[in-house]
């Protein structure tokens, strides 16, 4: 199974979700190296993108040269959404995604993200502005609704389809749920039944079994994995193998795992600079060590080391020796 967006093919239909502070360019490149149909950039604020405000440098380096990358934009004003879409399309973006699902208060308080579920008329002005500004496929990511009293994702999906949206991803929770409880994959079926464009299921998909269950419950054309990829950049390829018969990934263990983590760490240092990269990398190193069963004291030594050379010297013992123990 594949998903076709104009002349852009998503194959396999297993996608990496945008996660703020996590799915940066180094991580997306790593996930792509194992195999992913599409990787989505961290959410980029449209006005800040156009005005190039400080603090968006890392997000502006979106990896648009990679064919399987989608750039996700957020905002509340049609002008800035259209202008930012033009900027990223001019810089090579193959797919543009509109964020109408982020539940964070700092986003919804600015009437962006999932707050747009409370005003579909305004949401449509943003969709129409982006679709009208570019020739590349435009997609939409949202939630089931604002809360249990406003489950309007099917209506939004129909209107978005009519406005030119070519694919919609639904996180199986409302905004007011944030990430609590369980994603309701079955509720996504109402969106699938409402439109003819591809629908992707998202939320609590962490392995092949949950991906298969989510797809069956929702009727979705594909699945999107977010937190399940933390510390497991190969998980999308594993899911694709189980669901679609693609080649099974070689999951790194022992020395191969050490080499992969060191390469990821050094890529982050290069991307962010040594000082910021050392801080940003800690969460990733923590997830890798969680998976390897690293002893608590050694884990602490790695995460508290300030000198990257010290971290590099500790990683072989933290990952390879503990895994073999």
CA 324/CA 157 separation, integer angstroms: 49
Tokens of 259: 């080499």
215 labelled ligand-binding: no
Q: Of 102, 237, 289, 302, which residue is the catalytic one?
A: 102
Q: What is the DSSP string of 94-148?
A: SEEEEEE----HHHHTTT-GGGGGG-HHHHHHHHHHHHHH-SS-EEEEEES-SST
29 labelled ligand-binding: no
Catalytic residue at 176?
A: no
Tell me how far CA of residue 225 lies from CA of 38, 72, 74, 219, 243, in angstroms.
Answer: 11, 15, 20, 16, 14
Task: Please enumerate in sequence order all residues whose Cβ is within 8 A of that of 143, keeping only pairs 6 or more positions apart, or say none.
Answer: 100, 101, 103, 114, 117, 153, 170, 171, 172, 173, 174, 175
CA 313/CA 291 separation, integer angstroms: 19
166 labelled ligand-binding: no
141 labelled ligand-binding: yes
Q: Which residues are catalytic?
A: 102
Annotated binding-site residue numbers for FMN: 72, 141, 171, 226-227
């Amino acid at each position: 199974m594949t998903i076709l967006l104009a002349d852009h093919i998503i194959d396999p239909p297993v996608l990496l979700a945008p996660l703020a502070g996590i799915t940066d360019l180094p991580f997306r490149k790593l996930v792509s190296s194992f195999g992913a149909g599409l990787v989505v950039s961290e959410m980029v604020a449209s006005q800040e993108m156009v005005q190039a405000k400080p603090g968006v440098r890392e997000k502006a380096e979106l990896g648009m040269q990679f064919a399987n990358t989608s750039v996700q934009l957020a905002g509340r004003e049609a002008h800035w959404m259209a202008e930012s879409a033009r900027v990223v399309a001019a810089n090579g973006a193959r797919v543009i995604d509109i964020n109408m699902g982020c539940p964070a208060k700092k986003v919804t308080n600015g009437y962006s993200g999932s707050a747009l579920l409370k005003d579909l008329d305004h949401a449509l002005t943003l969709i129409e502005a982006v679709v009208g500004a570019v020739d590349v496929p435009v997609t939409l990511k949202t939630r089931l609704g604002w809360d249990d009293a406003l489950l309007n994702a099917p209506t939004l999906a129909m209107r978005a389809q009519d406005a030119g949206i070519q694919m919609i991803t639904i996180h199986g929770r409302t905004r007011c749920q944030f990430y609590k409880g369980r994603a309701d994959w079955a509720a996504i079926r109402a969106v699938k039944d409402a439109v003819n464009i591809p629908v992707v299921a998202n939320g609590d998909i962490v392995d092949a079994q949950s991906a298969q269950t989510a797809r069956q419950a929702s009727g979705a054309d594909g699945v999107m994995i977010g937190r399940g990829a933390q510390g497991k950049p190969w998980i999308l390829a594993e899911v694709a193998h189980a669901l679609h018969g693609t080649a099974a990934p070689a999951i790194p263990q022992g020395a191969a795992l050490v080499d992969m983590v060191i390469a990821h760490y050094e890529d982050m240092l290069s991307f962010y600079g040594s000082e910021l990269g050392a801080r940003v990398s800690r969460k990733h190193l923590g997830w890798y060590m969680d998976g390897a069963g690293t002893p608590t004291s050694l884990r602490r030594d790695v995460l508290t080391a300030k000198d990257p050379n010290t971290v590099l010297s500790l990683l072989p013992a933290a990952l390879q020796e503990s895994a073999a123990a």
